[in-house]
């Protein structure tokens, strides 16, 4: 399941960039042990991946949102406009074990629409065996370029 959700570090970075925690479908829950000397529960430094539940709002300061593949894919725009006015298209393809995600602009006068066509100018292009890492990278890149997500 961890191949389908953002890591704790990735989740924290997305929150820093302004992705709302409410958009996460899962959470990283801290694991505790009871200390008999202090009679308190102590965080042991590990986290368990759990489904998001309304009861978690009670201890939300310790909960870290976990964004799923579906969460991030739903947030990515299929088209976006860059600050320089360029209109970009998104494409996700898979060849064997490798996923590839790109945002590209068609070169003026080009009617080439096939994947990897010579008429494309790539603004963002990343490959990975893990789809979650690909989507995370695209969200981080779009937000760094001041593009809007579908959230």
What tens digit of pLDDT does each residue of 11-26 get? 999 999 999 999 999 9
The rounded distance, in Å, linking the Cα atoms of 13 and 33 is 28
Average pLDDT of the residues in 13-40 = 89
Q: Is the pLDDT assigned to residue 110 strictly greater than 70?
A: no
Rounded to 10°, the helix 8-16/131-144 angle is: 20
Q: DSSP string covering 82-128, please?
A: -TTS-EEEEEEEEETTEEEEEEEEEPTT----STT-TTEEEEEEEEE
Residue 9: strand, helix, or coil: helix
Distance CA 38, CA 52 (A): 30
d(CA 94, CA 128): 10
Please tell me the distance from the alpha carbon of residue 32 to that of residue 42, in angstroms, as a whole number: 5
Q: Is residue 118 scored above 80 in pLDDT?
A: no
How high is the pLDDT of residue 8? 94
User: Which helix (H) or strand (E) segment is 49 a member of?
Assistant: strand 40-51
- How do 64-66 and 79-81 pair as beta strands? unpaired
pLDDT, tens digit (0-9, with 9 covering 90-100), for 43-100: 788 888 888 765 555 555 678 999 999 999 999 999 999 888 889 999 999 999 999 9
Average pLDDT for the chain: 86
């Amino acid at each position: 399941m961890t191949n389908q959700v953002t890591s704790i570090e990735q989740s924290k970075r997305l929150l820093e960039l302004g992705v709302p925690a409410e958009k996460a479908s899962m959470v990283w829950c801290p694991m505790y042990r009871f200390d008999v000397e202090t009679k308190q529960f102590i965080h042991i430094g590990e986290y368990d991946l759990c489904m998001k539940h309304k009861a978690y709002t009670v201890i939300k300061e310790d909960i870290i949102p976990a964004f799923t593949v579906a969460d991030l894919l739903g947030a990515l725009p299929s088209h976006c406009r860059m600050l320089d006015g360029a209109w970009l298209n998104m494409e996700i393809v898979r060849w064997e074990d490798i996923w590839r995600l790109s945002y590209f602009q068609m070169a003026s006068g080009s009617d080439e629409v096939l994947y990897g066509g010579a008429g494309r100018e790539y603004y963002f292009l990343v490959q990975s065996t893990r789809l979650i890492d690909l989507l995370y990278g695209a969200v981080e890149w779009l937000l760094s370029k001041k593009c809007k997500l579908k959230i």
